[in-house]
């Protein structure tokens, strides 16, 4: 196998992974200077704003799980996982990741990353700065 073929396979693997854990932290996390309750409410409302369906939420643990719709554009189905936690400096951090619920865990075509970006954009609209 030549180097170009290996590079192509590596690119396909890293861009096609069925989760967003390989995204830089800055692209899948936000910190807000706001009351934790306000951030929690915005996090829940942003699920709907991003076009996702809420599966479960645990306010006491700061966890939200939502599902992307089973549309022609999302044949495999994806789950958004959100953790909301208060930091020592008073800010509230929101970490978001998405993963495929399909058994085919390698080809994602960037869908997981788009779900996370769409969700965090909705959060930023609700809690600017």
* Domain harbouring 44, CATH code: 3.30.310.220
pTM score, two decimals? Answer: 0.76
Tell me: pLDDT of 43 over 70: yes
3-state helix, strand, coil in the chain (%, to 5): 35, 25, 35
pLDDT-derived band of residue 56, with 50, 70 and 90 as boundaries? very high
Largest CA distance in the chain: 55
Residues 29 and 110 sit within 8 Å (Cβ to Cβ): no
**How many domains does the chain fold into?**
1
pLDDT classification of 77: cutoffs 50, 70, 90: confident
Q: Mean pLDDT across the stretch 3-16?
A: 48
Instruction: Provide the b/e sequence for 81-95 (b: ≥16 CB within 10 Å).
Output: bbebeeeeeeebebb
Report percent pLDDT > 90 for the chain: 49
For 19, the domain range is: 3-126
32, two tokens: 């807000």
């Amino acid at each position: 196998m030549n180097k170009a073929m290996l590079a192509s396979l590596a690119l396909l693997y890293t861009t096609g992974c069925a989760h967003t854990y390989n995204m830089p932290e800055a692209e899948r996390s936000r910190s807000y200077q706001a009351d934790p309750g306000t951030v929690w409410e915005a996090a829940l409302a942003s699920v709907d704003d991003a076009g996702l369906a809420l599966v479960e939420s645990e306010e006491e643990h700061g966890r939200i799980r939502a599902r992307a719709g089973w549309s022609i554009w999302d044949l495999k189905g994806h789950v958004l996982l959100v953790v909301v936690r208060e930091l020592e400096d008073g800010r509230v951090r929101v970490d978001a990741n998405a993963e495929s619920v399909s058994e085919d865990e390698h080809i994602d075509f960037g869908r997981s990353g788009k779900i996370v970006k769409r969700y965090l954009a909705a959060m930023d609209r609700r809690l600017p700065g």
